[in-house]
Structure 1
Amino acid sequence: MAGAPEGLPSEEALKEKVVSILASCDLQSTSLKLVRAELEVRCGLGPGGLDPLKDKIKDIVTLEMERIQADAAAPSLPDLAAAPSAPASSSRASAPASSSGSRESPAAEARKAPAEAKKSGQKRPRGEEAEEARAAPNPKEGTKAKQASSMTKGEFMKKAKRFTIKIGDKNINVDPKQFSTGSSGFYASGKALVEVGGISLQLQIGMNCTVIGSKVGIEGIDFVMWKLAEAVGPFQDELGFRCCGRSLGFLHQASDPELEEAELIDQEASDWSSIFTSRKIMIMVFLGPGKGTLEMQPYDDEANVTEITTAPGLVVVLRTDQLSFKFFCRGREATHVATSFMLQNDILRMHRNKLEEHLTPPALELDQWIENRLREIKENEPDEPDWSAGDRATIPRSFIHAANRTWFKRQTTLVRGASARLPVSWEPEVFFLGLTSGCDTVIEVPIMRWEHSTVYSDAPDCWAQDPPKTNCRHAAFVDGVELFDAKLFSLSLAETKGMDPGQRLVLEVTYDALYRSGMRKATLINSSTGMYVGTSMSEWNFADKGADVGIFGATGGSPSITAGRLSFCLGCKGASLAVDTE
């Protein structure tokens, strides 16, 4: 871009980024300010970094939005029954002149000739009749149908040439282009000066020339499904869910239901698993050439089946979380349907217990098939498997990964319960979700722990002072250390006062994990349960203890006694071992 400030993107780079941004956002909720902010992010600039180019960005965005709206206004659903137009026949029957002395058009002659031949009783050759039928124009066949079959998109882009138009004082180049909507045509942009009332005015030129009928094809069908999905978007709150994605478009061939179904293979199951789990709405565009039957039934054995006879051009939008469906056709001729799914992608990130609430019967059936397949893979696995040889080479890597973590052939260790005491949470899963979402658990040292101002200093070498201090004000703290239930573990109050808080947490967390796995204190007494504890030196011995701990001081701060105390308090007679992990 001539005269652009140093470090800012060129006009061509801005155009490319604006096209990419507008293609992936909702034009109804997009503003110029939001587009400029996204441009600054993509250009690696801070807020306001593109302020010198405000007017230029406004012109580019306005032009691109006009182009998109012009494409959207073009007819979108192709005429699937359009037939190629045949060349005109050279055989013409003569027709009398009209009263005004002018001769009828060749097309009128072609339509009139068969009627005259029938009236005169003459028999005409069958080939001649067919030829004249082809020559006669079809009144239902418009420009779109005629042009759709005349040239492919690839041929258009190869044969179309640039041409020039003059606007005002400028010659504007008009170039062939494939639009993002699936249409083909010509595109021009630029600026020109025109005189209005003796005053020169500068125009911003943006021109889209769309070839009528160029959207016929799979790209056009997929664009139709995308627009339908966009139209459903505002009603998702009323439907009770919110889809945040759309699957690719699929082209299916339906045949007679009595024919043998193809066997499901691993890769297909892997590809469809996430779609079956998260799909909520299905968009179907029936392409033909023949008719078919669409059966729909709610997920209830007692519900009635509803059948729809489909024809080319029919569009059906149905809820896959409420209805089972089957599409087939009778006879030898197969028919086709294009489909796409609206997906609730956050289902895939839910915990298994929550995810199962969203699984429909087909999704559960596919999930069970995958589970059985994973077990079969593991059972047939040799001691030293070579996953690149034989039939194993066709197994998806995700299946191998899941099989190794779901099924086992050797002796295994089972984790039946887990518990934890962590900052801001006592639930391991809740804490893990906080880590994955970037939650901050660090707070200022609370007064309930200690008076931190007595040991804080902002000096960089505060550690060298006498007594040493710290320049840190924040830490992550585990709540509820003072809530220890000594009676549950048959401990006296005097012994509890001298016990390291870490030993109290070990007792609480261990029994909590055992309780979650179905065990109780009454069933643990005199059992052969072993206790293995990882521990290290504690700072409890350096703490200022306000009360006299008496004879329990030695055992209360000893890390080696942690496993023994655990076995003794729960009545377990198995192995008891404390492992120093420092």
Structure 2
Amino acid sequence: MPSELSTRVARFYDVSDADRDAAAEAAATNLAVQGFCVLDCGFKDKKKDVLEKAKADAAALDEAEAFYRPEELVFTGLFGDEGSARIAPLNLREEPERQGLKSIDAEMTELAQVTAPFISFKMGLEIVSRARAVLHETGPLEGVIQKLTPSEASMWLSDFRFGRVLCVVCIGPGYGEMELKPYAEEEAKPLKVTAVPGTVLMIRSDKLRVRHLCRTRTLLLSCNLQASGGTNARLAPNPCAAKLQVWLDERLHNLKQAETEDRRAELPRHLRLAMNRQCFKGQYMAVRGLASRVAPCWGPETFWCGGLKTPPG
């Protein structure tokens, strides 16, 4: 990976529209060439107060027991066992009091909107939406792992399968490193990027395995930028999505086999439909039909006159 690209920082605040477009193009170029880019959104100096508010919001979420320790199938698709020791998926639209986290979340949305046209031009990735924000707390592995449910697995599968670019904001207070390693090159030496409070990164999450390493507890906010259906049909998802799909398929199969007439599996409607379509129990049959709609008539001449000026032949 070229060192001159890995150290270049795209500046995204206090600039004109032309400079902002230039920074967006530089960010997309870095993503295309090396799989990640480092951005300056002003959190290290003029927006320090936003990070302090975000830390206070995280403390309130901790008191509300919003954090939990995820299973391996989840944290391997995020920042690893230490980088995502505890996580809190957020729906910030329904939490008006989280002003610090909402400001950072809005910044990630704006970055997605500004860079999307250049990402499409440079890499052929049509970014059309973004996933929910996830708050990460790095640190030692403590606490009990929350058991993965089919409903939660379905939500993470959507994040991992359709997510192509991961946007990360380092809130702090700890100073750490982002370890990036290509999925396709197991023997490759990982590249480490300094992640101090206020650092913003965009990473090709479908190409690079991401781990966050920090000796002290720190906070990160992330979201996946999701590609269009055509892009996702053309490109393979990251390996974490494939493993999560296998787990979900096996779980739905086991739930279907355990069902009885008096006891049905408790699942959301979309998962119940998926289970009934792909899992079978006992005897089953295929029902096929064919229908057509034609003009009523008594003879071939009348039939052809209904759609053609003259009979064929």
TM-score, L = length of structure 1: 0.33
- 2:276 corresponds, among 404, 413, 416, to 404
| Partner Cα distance (2:250, 2:47) in 1 | 55
The CA RMSD measured in Å over matched residues stands at 4.3
Instruction: Find the aligned partners of 1:218 and 1:277 in 2 and give their Cα distance.
Output: 25
Structure 2 unaligned spans of 5+: 1-16, 19-39, 57-97, 295-299
1:335–1:396 distance in 2 versus 1, CA, 3 Å: farther
Which of the numbers 374, 378, 382 marks the counterpart of 2:260?
A: 382
The separation in 2 between residues aligned to 1:325 and 1:422, in whole angstroms, is: 54
What is the match of residue 359 of structure 1?
237
Given that 2:167 and 2:223 are in contact with CA atoms closer than 8 Å, whether structure 1 keeps it comes out as yes
- Cα gap change, 1:273/1:328 in structure 2, threshold over 3 Å: closer, same or farther? same
Judge conservation of contact 1:257–1:329 (CA < 8 Å) in 2. Answer: no
1:238 correspondence with 2:122: yes
2:217 counterpart (331, 334, 343):
334
For residue 127 of structure 2, give the secondary structure of its aligned residue in structure 1. Answer: coil
Secondary structure of 2:251's match?
helix
Q: Which has the larger radius of gyration?
A: 1
Paired with 1:397 and 1:408, the residues of 2 have a C-alpha distance of: 17
Cα gap change, 1:246 to 1:380, in 2 (>3 Å): same
Contact map agreement 1:293 1:308 (CA 8 A) in 2: yes
User: Is the CA contact 1:256–1:328 (under 8 Å) kept in the aligned structure 2?
Assistant: no
**Closer/same/farther in 2, CA of residues 321 and 385 from structure 1, 3 Å limit:** same
1:266, distance to aligned residue in structure 2 (A): 2.4
Give the structure 1 partner of residue 31 of structure 2. Answer: none
**One-letter amino acid matched to 1:304:** K
Give how far 1:285 is off. Answer: 0.4
Quick one: distance in 2 between partners of 1:306 and 1:284? 17
Q: How does 1:237-386 map to 2 (within 5 A)?
A: 237-256=121-140, 262-300=146-184, 301-330=186-215, 333-346=216-229, 354=233, 357-386=235-264
- Structure-2 change in CA distance of 1:258 and 1:299 (3 Å): farther
C-alpha distance in 2 between matches for 1:218 and 1:259: 25
Q: 1:406 to 1:240 in 2, by over 3 A?
A: same
> 2-side partners of 1:450 and 1:358: how far apart?
54
Instruction: Compute the displacement of 1:261 (Å).
Output: 5.2
SS in 2 for 1:358: coil
Alpha-carbon contact 1:78-1:220 (below 8 Å) kept: no
SS of the aligned residue for 1:308 comes to: strand
Map 1:128-167; keep pairs closer than 5 Å.
145=49
Check the 8 A contact 2:178/2:210 in 1, yes or no. Answer: yes
Displacement of 1:244 in angstroms is: 1.2
Deviation at residue 329 of structure 1 after TM alignment: 2.9
Deviations 1:480-529 (A, max 9, x none): xxxxxxxxxxxxxxxxxxxxxxxxxxxxxxxxxxxxxxxxxxxxxxxxxx
What secondary structure, in the 3-state scheme, does the structure 1 residue paired with 2:225 have? Answer: strand
Kindly, what percent of the aligned residue pairs are identical?
27
- Aligned partners of 1:314 and 1:241: how far apart in 2? 24
The residue correspondences of 1:68-217 to structure 2 (distance < 5 A) are: 77-78=42-43, 145=49, 217=100
Higher relative contact order by CA 8 Å / sep ≥ 6: 1 or 2? Answer: 2
Whether the aligned pair in 2 keeps the contact of 1:293 and 1:327 (CA below 8 Å) is yes
Give the distance between the partners of 2:291 and 2:259, measured in 1 at CA: 40
**Contact 1:257 1:328 (C-alpha < 8 Å) held by counterparts:** no
Describe the shift of the 1:397–1:327 C-alpha distance in structure 2 as closer, same or farther (beyond 3 A): farther
Matched letter for residue 336 of structure 1: L
The separation in 2 between residues aligned to 1:305 and 1:411, in whole angstroms, is 52
Q: String of CA shifts for 1:36-55, please: whole Å, max 9, x gaps.
A: xxxxxxxxxxxxxxxxxxxx
Given residue 275 of structure 1, which amino acid in structure 2 is its aligned partner?
D
- 1:368–1:451: structure 2 CA closer, same or farther, 3 Å change rule? same
Matched residue count: 223
SS of the residue 2:262 aligns to: coil
Amino acid at match of 1:400: R
Residue 77 of structure 1: how far off its partner (Å):
4.0
Could you tell me how far 1:281 is from its partner in structure 2? 0.7
